[in-house]
Amino acid sequence: MGTVSTPRLLLAALALTGCAAAPPPGPADPLDDFRADLRSPDPETALAAAMELEPESLDLEEIRIQARLLAEHPEEVLAGPGEGSCFLCEGGRSIGSPEVLRLLEVAVTRSVPVEEPSIQDLHRVMVPDHIPGLVALLEPAEGNLWRYLLWMLRLLADNTDRHRETVAGALLYARSNWVAEVEGRPWPRLADLRFPGDGPDTPAAFLQRFHGLLRGHDPGGWNEQFPWDWWRRWEGTAEKPDEAGVEAFTPEAARSRLETLARGSPPDDEEWDRFREEAPLLEAAAPEAMDALLDRWKDAGGDHGRWIREMREQRGRPPGEADRAEAEDVLAAIGKGEYPGNRVALLGLLGGRGRTVLERYRRERHHGLLWPATAGLAIAGDAGARSEFLAFLRGDRTFVYDAVFDPVGFTLNGDPEALAHWRSRVGSNCCLWFFAWEALRRWYPTMPAENRAGDPDGAAERARQWWERWKDRLAWSRIAGGWVPVAE
């Protein structure tokens, strides 16, 4: 995801030339003057800095200034790649969920011509709360911009049931526009159409009205583009998942199951997959009985024996040991002059030894590692870094960090507030949902939150229900390296 520009490669090259683990303080950061230009009273100077500065080298206040400046200049951000657009190169990556509607509003007001690559990439920072604002922009929008706004609305609708009536009304309005265009009539006004939320419409009645506007036409391939996942969830005909998965065990049920298994040999191939799926839940509910079973089976041969030995090793490791071992590898690599990328956040697990390096990367902005370093400092216990990083996450600035998604760094090693943020992004756009899935499966390995491009089977709602059901009954599984439910 995303494009690596020439300046970013230059920053990486700079980083490769000076990455000793604890170097003496260096000269002033070469980007200081450019960052100062963001606050220039001269609009042209400030805009030039906003277009050129990489958000990877900016703190949160600077990113917000940059994004606000660019949101007022969609002609610079949303032009096609051949027209000098900065969205796919430098400053435009700072645009996040707080600024995206303003960017689109200015684009609509000024009738800015847009091209597909840059405008469609904006979907990655859009969330369900943007739906009412998107709908409000449909009527004044023109040309390709109108169509792209509608595309983003349909994409969001396929992933969420929030603002359902507003989405339904907007679809009726858009369909009416298509039909009017085919028949050579002026487009209707949004206010002249009754939204489904204004009356007792059922899903069936809505669809009947919707297709009643078709009148034998399918302008623009509308039927194919209709948000059918959204519709089927509303109608109640969404497909169901093939299987619900293994249910959590009570401690008594887990001990009984493990005792039954212990009376025999390791399961055959048909039963082995079931056991591996159950293992974290059995372990969390009855850890001593799980240890006894693994000891009994320790001499098994073949793949089963290897998996049992791996489980026994994982049971014997303190939580987080593997992450700390990787952090040691990162520290050693930095000492050799290697560029650590986002993995530098893991140094926060090493306490003071890692903190020295993290503070350096936070201070020396030209390395482009300010945000991984901030995450690492938060993990190490820096309250200010934690507050800033959580605010950064809430801005949904995916272009700043999506090159390598680190589920330890971008959850601040399982910080409750960071995990709450990622749970809130299940059922968001396809890209944010992907990040949420990467984060959540690391810490809640049995949570049914797998990302979708569209949500055909209600995965977002299942994830919400799972959390509400189990949030107060979670136990740590060393086998899975995360929190799993234990039934009462």
Tell me the CA distances in angstroms from 387 to 314, 379, 384, 402, one per residue in order: 33, 11, 5, 20
Tell me the CA distances in angstroms from 420 to 66, 156, 173, one per residue in order: 27, 20, 36
Q: Are residues 178 and 40 in the same domain?
A: yes
Q: Residue 10: what residue type?
A: L
CB-based contact 137:149 (threshold 8 Å): yes
Mean confidence (pLDDT) of the chain:
84
Higher pLDDT, 470 or 217: 470
In a domain, 15, yes or no: yes
Quick one: which H or E segment has residue 405? Answer: none
Q: Which of 206, 235, 264 is the last residue of a domain?
A: 235
The pLDDT assigned to 200 comes to 47
Q: What is the mean pLDDT of residues 232-255?
A: 84
Confidence of residue 192 (pLDDT cuts 50, 70, 90): confident
pTM for this predicted structure: 0.87
CB-based contact 283:294 (threshold 8 Å): no
Q: Are residues 22 and 150 in the same domain?
A: yes
The pLDDT assigned to 143 comes to 82
Q: Are residues 14 and 139 in the same domain?
A: yes
In a domain, 321, yes or no: no
CB-based contact 103:137 (threshold 8 Å): no
Q: Which of 192, 214, 235 is the last residue of a domain?
A: 235
Q: Are residues 32 and 163 in the same domain?
A: yes
The pLDDT assigned to 64 comes to 96
Tell me the residue range of the domain where 400 lies: 342-485
Conformational region of residue 264, where left means phi above 0, alpha means psi within -120 to 50, and beta covers everything else: beta
Q: Are residues 230 and 94 in the same domain?
A: yes
* pLDDT tens string 335-390: 999 999 889 999 999 999 999 999 999 999 889 899 999 999 999 999 999 999 99
The share of the chain scoring above pLDDT 70, in percent, equals 84
In a domain, 166, yes or no: yes
In a domain, 333, yes or no: no
Q: Are residues 64 and 209 in the same domain?
A: yes
Quick one: which H or E segment has residue 485? Answer: strand 482-485
Q: Are residues 230 and 346 in the same domain?
A: no
Q: Are residues 82 and 214 in the same domain?
A: yes
Can you tell me the distance from the alpha carbon of 67 to that of 283, in angstroms, rounded to the nearest whole number? 47
Q: Which of 235, 259, 282 is the last residue of a domain?
A: 235
The pLDDT assigned to 216 comes to 56
Q: How many domains does the chain have?
A: 2
In a domain, 312, yes or no: no
* pLDDT tens string 148-158: 999 999 999 99
Q: Residue 424: what residue type?
A: S
In a domain, 296, yes or no: no
In a domain, 317, yes or no: no
Can you tell me the distance from the alpha carbon of 275 to that of 25, in angstroms, rounded to the nearest whole number? 54
Can you tell me the distance from the alpha carbon of 217 to that of 179, in angstroms, rounded to the nearest whole number? 8
In a domain, 201, yes or no: yes
